[in-house]
C-alpha cells in the first residue's frame, strides 16, 4: 500500500464551504430549469390547441362546402408552419434538457468528489481514531484490479491488525448497503497481504434517512454523517468482517 499522503491546503472547513456554494448554485439552476420547463409546457399546450383548432376549422369548412380550394390551402399552410414552429421548439427544448442533464451530471460528480474530500480530511484531521482503534495510515480512492473482483475503496484506514473501509456517497440510498458489504470480500482478494486483518465497514454520506440508518445498524456498518460543521460517527453496532 502506498505511503500516507497529506493534503495541507484542503480542510474539512473549506471542503464544506465549497459543497455549500455548489449546492446553492445547483438549487438555483434547478429552479431556473423548472421555470423554463413550465414555460415550454405552456407554450406547447397553446400550440397544440391552436393546431387542433385550425384542423377543426378546415374540416368544418370542407364539410360545409363554403370555402374555396385557395382558402383551404392557406389554412393548411398556416397550420403546417405552426406545426413546424412547434417541432423546432420541441427540438430546442430537448437539446436544452440534454445540456441540463450533462450539467447536473457534472455537478453530481463534483458533489461526490467534495463529499469524499470532506470526509477524508475529517478523518485525517481527527488522527484516524475510528472503530475504537488508532489507525496509522489513511488512503483514498484505492483501486483493486484483480480480475473478477475489481473494486474501488473511497477511504481506507490501516494499522497492523485492522482495516477500515469507508464508502462515501453525496446522497446514499439503502441499495448502497449491499455494495458496502461486498467491499470486505473484494478487498481481501485484491490485497491478500491484509487477508488476516480485521475489516470494519462504514458508510459516509451528507444525508442519511431512518431506513438507511436502520439497515446499516442491522448489517453492522458504521454510520458516518455530517451534522452541522461536524462529522458524527455511530459505530456501537459494528461487526468484524
What are 162-212's pLDDT values in tens digits? Answer: 999 999 998 899 999 999 999 999 999 999 999 899 999 999 998 899 999
Give the model's confidence band at 223: pLDDT under 50 very low, under 70 low, under 90 confident, else very high.
Answer: very high
Specify the pTM.
0.59
C-alpha cell at 138: 489513511
**More confident site: 152 or 37:** 152
What SS3 string covers the chain? CCCCCCCCCCCHHHHHHHHHHHHHHHHHHHHHHHHHHHHHHHHHHHHHHHHHHHHHHHHHHHHHCCCCHHHHHHHHHHHHHHHHHHHHHHHHHHHHHHHHHHHHHHHHHHHHHHHHHHHHHHHHHCCCEECCEECCEEEEEEEECCCCCCEEEEEEEECCCEEEEEEEECCCCCCHHHHHHHHHHHHHHHCHHHCCCEEEEEEEECCCCHHHHHHHHHHCCEEEEEECCEEEEECCCCCCC
pLDDT at res. 107: 46
Give the model's confidence band at 3: pLDDT under 50 very low, under 70 low, under 90 confident, else very high.
Answer: very low
pLDDT at res. 171: 85
Q: In Å, how far from its chain's centre is CA 116?
A: 13
pLDDT in tens, 102-159: 555 444 445 557 778 888 887 766 545 677 788 888 999 999 999 889 999 999 999 9
**More confident site: 126 or 3:** 126
Q: What percent of the chain has pLDDT over 70?
A: 56
Q: Find the range with the poorest average confidence among 6-20, 23-37, 64-78.
A: 6-20
Distance between CA atoms of 235 and 217, rounded to whole angstroms?
8
- Residue 55 clears pLDDT 60, i.e. is over it: yes
**More confident site: 29 or 184:** 184
Q: In Å, how far from its chain's centre is CA 104?
A: 9
Strand partners, 157: 138, 164
pLDDT at res. 229: 72
C-alpha cell at 104: 447536473
Amino acid at each position: 500500500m502506498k505511503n500516507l499522503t497529506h493534503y495541507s491546503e484542503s480542510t474539512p472547513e473549506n471542503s464544506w464551504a465549497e459543497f455549500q456554494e455548489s449546492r446553492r448554485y445547483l438549487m438555483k439552476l434547478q429552479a431556473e430549469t423548472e421555470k423554463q420547463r413550465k414555460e415550454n409546457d405552456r407554450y406547447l399546450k397553446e400550440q397544440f390547441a391552436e393546431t387542433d383548432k385550425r384542423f377543426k376549422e378546415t374540416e368544418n369548412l370542407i364539410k360545409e362546402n363554403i370555402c374555396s380550394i385557395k382558402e383551404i390551402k392557406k389554412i393548411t399552410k398556416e397550420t403546417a408552419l405552426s406545426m413546424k414552429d412547434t417541432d423546432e421548439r420541441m427540438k430546442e427544448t430537448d437539446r436544452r434538457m440534454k445540456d441540463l442533464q450533462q450539467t447536473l451530471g457534472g455537478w453530481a460528480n463534483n458533489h461526490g468528489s467534495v463529499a469524499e474530500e470532506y470526509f477524508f480530511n475529517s478523518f485525517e484531521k481527527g488522527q484516524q481514531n475510528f472503530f475504537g482503534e488508532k489507525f496509522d495510515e489513511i488512503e483514498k480512492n484505492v483501486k483493486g484490479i484483480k480480475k473478477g473482483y475489481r473494486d474501488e475503496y473511497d477511504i481506507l484506514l490501516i494499522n497492523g491488525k485492522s482495516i477500515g473501509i469507508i464508502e462515501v456517497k453525496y446522497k446514499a440510498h439503502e441499495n448502497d448497503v449491499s455494495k458496502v458489504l461486498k467491499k470486505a470480500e473484494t478487498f481481501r482478494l485484491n490485497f491478500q497481504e491484509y487477508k488476516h486483518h480485521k475489516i470494519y465497514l462504514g458508510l459516509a454520506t451528507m444525508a442519511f434517512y431512518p431506513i438507511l440508518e436502520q439497515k446499516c445498524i442491522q448489517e453492522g456498518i458504521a454510520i458516518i454523517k455530517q451534522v452541522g460543521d461536524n462529522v458524527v460517527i455511530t459505530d456501537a453496532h459494528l461487526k468484524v468482517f
